[in-house]
Structure 1
Amino acid sequence: MNGKLTKEFELKTPTFTGFNEFIIADLKGFFKEVNIKPVYTGVLAQGSNLAQSVVRGDNDLFGSGHPTNIAVARKAGAKIKIVLHSMVDSPENNKLHMTWLVKDGGKINSPADLVGKKIAVGNLGGCVDLLNSEFLKQNNIPKDKVEVVVMKDELQEQALRQGIIDVAVVHPPYNVKAENAGGVKVLTTSFDIGTKAGDGTIGGLAVRAFSEDFIKKHPDVVKAYIVADLKAQQWINDHYEEALKLEAEYLKIDPKDMAGNIYPNQWWVKPEQVQWWIDTAYKNKLAGFENPGEIKAEDLFTNDLNPYYTKELAIPANK
């Protein structure tokens, strides 16, 4: 196999609306190199559950999310497993995982002003939910003293300006886009929250996963995907500005408003990174994390199909 498939495989994934290494792997031909043909199934509808769509077979790849998403899905009975890490957080504005934005000149000038306000999150049980809960905890604000509203990132800037919500919590590029338009200011960032929780970079850790059924039926596809995705991750780190331009064109976003993510210099999933998310979820009593010790990191991921971990392939030179 040597990291490549002997015949083409069509890999189904939702259409991306934000920065993602999958886009680069497609545009730069890294998927083609391993004989994977991406098939975009359309933008996931508001309120739809990506993990469930993967288990149903509507999509093959869980290509946008975090360890807690997988943990909650598995607890609900979804047989899905992490096979690869993705991005991590950075303090640089155009590489941040998430940004908490409020109106400039508005009523929110400090965390204490959040009491009674509406905070938008892209989904429940994921990164925004977790880190927003941690942010409130760090500032001694009970979760029941704020109203959490589920809203897609791309809709939050307008909702904030119209006063429908009081806080927008957005991923790149929507943070930079809103800041460039003016009239908003940063209340906090995921990196700052993560730093206070013990690790600034780990608060951005994303993961990639497949259903256990897919892994069993198509192990070589999973291996090939890992090879191509890791190549894209490292390429982005080495060619960040070019990656921003390519993704801006793909997403039809003005290049000056584009922002993205960076990736760790690692080649397989590390248990301690997954464990940080589980521990932080338990600490904040995230839905599904009421009983400490019930969810274990080793149950959420496997490195068995990672050809670098198994030494089927050598880690590329200079990496």
Structure 2
Amino acid sequence: MKKMLVTGLMGLTILALITGCSVFTQKTADDDKPKFINGKLTKEFHLKVVTPTSFNELIIADKKGFFKEVGIIPEYTGSAPSGTLAQSVIKGDNHLFGSGHPSTIAAARKAGAGIKIVLHSMVDDPDPDKMHMTWFVRRDGAIKSAKDLVGKKIAMSGLGSCAEFLNGDFLRRNDISRDQVEIVVMKDAQQEQALRHGFIDVAIVHPPYNKIAKNRGGLEVLTTSYEIGELAGNGALSGLAVRAFSEEFIRDYPDVVKAYIVADLKAQQYINEHYEESLQVAAEFLKVDVKDMAGNIYPRQQWLKDEDIDFWVKLGERNGFFAQGEIKASDLYTNELNPYYKGELQ
């Protein structure tokens, strides 16, 4: 009995030491992480992001020092096809989901990816040079209106993309089913020349390619993302982009997310107030001629609204991308780490 008691006490002592060590190790690891205090991080954090290839507020947050102000150092990881970005964020190859719309996040979560929106980005605008997407046809071609699209080839950057969502709504409103047209997946950069040479009948392009195509002439605008959005209830929301992180990153680095939100919002409002200068900064970063540079504008708000996200959920439901009630807007985003929403900052 005496021997068993000693053995038991030794076991408990070892267990206590092990437990104490693991608690101490965990506490040390947590203490080593940057904290968000007085609007910035207590130590620098290298945030892995995809290298921007078009106008993006991340460029402005970097080059105008808004990331530096909050203690974030952007670490550019190169390009990533839009269809693989969510996967790269889940794997940790990138921290930030810095390109896409609520529909992109909805599709990723539907596929089982633990990813959540923390902030809005750009919105659409009727100005052709600030527009989300433009539908181009040849001026000398046979397409003069939507009814001429039956049997024609429509190019877009990817299936499940914002182009497919909005194009689906455009077709539906004009009583054209998706099986009455041929969808061709093609990079934006290739679409203009493919259209001019007759390989496709419609090009759906984002900035800066819509501005470049317009400047060269010889094409007509069939419709725009803003027009489609207006008919759906809100022209601006047809361009709503979002920024997201994996749920694991949000759990492990909530203070970094807070700092990111502050820097990104500052960059967004800087662009709204210094648009031409921001185009120049982005053109230098991207190494393109500023005359071909097209940008975006941003909403004058500090946090996400349910109706913003729900616009894209309803768009998906109407056009058969989601079943009715399958996606809830409130499941896609959180404002809980937004310092302005929580009253941490004014």
Output the TM-score relative to the length of structure 2: 0.87
> Whose radius of gyration is greater, 1 or 2?
2
1:116-265 to structure 2, matched below 5 A, reads 116-265=151-300
Equivalent residue letter for 1:185: E
Residue 35 in 1 paired to residue 71 in 2? yes
What are the superposed Cα offsets for residues 269-294 of structure 1, whole Å, 9 maximum, x if unpaired? 101110111011100112xx0x2111
Cα distance in 2 for residues equivalent to 1:216 and 1:122? 33
Pick from 24, 34, 41 the counterpart of residue 5 of structure 1: 41
1:306 corresponding residue in structure 2 = 338
Q: Secondary structure at the match of 2:118?
A: strand
Q: What CA RMSD, in Å, does the superposition of the two structures yield over aligned residues?
A: 1.2
Instruction: Return the offset for 1:228.
Output: 0.4
1:285 corresponding residue in structure 2 = 320
Instruction: Return the offset for 1:262.
Output: 0.3
Cα distance in 1 for residues equivalent to 2:64 and 2:287? 18
Deviates most, 116-125 or 197-206: 116-125
Equivalent residue letter for 1:132: N
Instruction: Return the offset for 1:252.
Output: 2.1
What are the superposed Cα offsets for residues 159-191 of structure 1, whole Å, 9 maximum, x if unpaired? 222322221111111111111112222111001
1:101 corresponding residue in structure 2 = 136
What are the superposed Cα offsets for residues 29-57 of structure 1, whole Å, 9 maximum, x if unpaired? 11011111111111114x74211111111
Q: Secondary structure at the match of 2:61?
A: helix
Instruction: Return the offset for 1:123.
Output: 2.1
Q: Secondary structure at the match of 2:58?
A: helix
1:76 corresponding residue in structure 2 = 111
Q: Secondary structure at the match of 2:251?
A: helix
Cα distance in 2 for residues equivalent to 1:253 and 1:165? 26
Equivalent residue letter for 1:226: I
2:31 corresponding residue in structure 1 = none
Cα distance in 1 for residues equivalent to 2:220 and 2:283? 23
What are the superposed Cα offsets for residues 89-120 of structure 1, whole Å, 9 maximum, x if unpaired? 11011111111111221122111111111212
Cα distance in 2 for residues equivalent to 1:273 and 1:254? 34
Cα distance in 1 for residues equivalent to 2:38 and 2:162? 34
Pick from 149, 174, 177 the counterpart of residue 114 of structure 1: 149
1:317 corresponding residue in structure 2 = none
> In percent, how many aligned pairs have the same letter?
65
Equivalent residue letter for 2:66: F
Cα distance in 2 for residues equivalent to 1:40 and 1:129? 28
Equivalent residue letter for 1:268: W
Q: Secondary structure at the match of 1:109?
A: coil
Cα distance in 2 for residues equivalent to 1:109 and 1:270? 38
Instruction: Return the offset for 1:202.
Output: 1.0
Cα distance in 1 for residues equivalent to 2:171 and 2:112? 30
2:18 corresponding residue in structure 1 = none
Cα distance in 2 for residues equivalent to 1:32 and 1:159? 42
Deviates most, 117-126 or 293-302: 117-126
Cα distance in 1 for residues equivalent to 2:330 and 2:235? 23
Output the TM-score relative to the length of structure 1: 0.94
**Number of residue equivalences:** 310
For structure 1, list consecutive stretches of 5 or more residues without a partner in the other structure.
Answer: 315-319
Equivalent residue letter for 1:110: S
Pick from 10, 24, 35 the counterpart of residue 60 of structure 2: 24
Instruction: Return the offset for 1:242.
Output: 0.9
Cα distance in 2 for residues equivalent to 1:160 and 1:208? 32
Instruction: Return the offset for 1:158.
Output: 2.2
Q: Secondary structure at the match of 2:40?
A: coil
For structure 2, list consecutive stretches of 5 or more residues without a partner in the other structure.
Answer: 1-36
Deviates most, 118-127 or 300-309: 118-127
Runs of at least 4 residues off by over 3 Å: none
Please state which structure has a larger fraction of its residues in helix: 2
